[in-house]
Amino acid sequence: MMYPYMTLADETEIVHSQIIDEDGKQKVIVHFERPTEEGFDSARCELPDYKWISKEGYSDQEVAMFEQLLHSNAHLLYKYAANGGIQIA
């Protein structure tokens, strides 16, 4: 399951997975998606290794900005992934 995290000014939506236990390591998958006239731009990154699984339509500069965002938000993404997403009352 994917949980919403935030929407950027360019309409890129960021969602994340629950915590995935794999080989004794806790991972979170973060997905970026932006609508275009032809469909969607998308990128997917695996934390904690910051391994980009896919990148389609986003520039290298945009992906670098996403990686900066991930580095400064990883602790929150893990927290929300453990709690089933952001809990808004």
Give CA–CA dist 61/48, Å, rounded: 21
Mean pLDDT of the chain: 95
Q: What is the pLDDT of residue 28?
A: 97
Q: What is the pLDDT of residue 88?
A: 64
Report the pLDDT value the prediction gives residue 44, as an integer from 0 to 100: 98
Asked whether the beta carbons of 3 and 20 are under 8 A apart, the reply is no
The burial class, CB within 10 Å (0-12 / 13-18 / 19+), for 27 is middle
Residue 52 Cα distances to 30, 32, 67, 84, angstroms: 10, 11, 9, 23
The list of the chain residues with pLDDT below 70 reads 88-89
What is the model's pLDDT at position 85? 86
What is the domain partition of the chain in residue ranges? Answer: 2-82
pTM: 0.92
**Which pLDDT value is given to residue 84?**
87
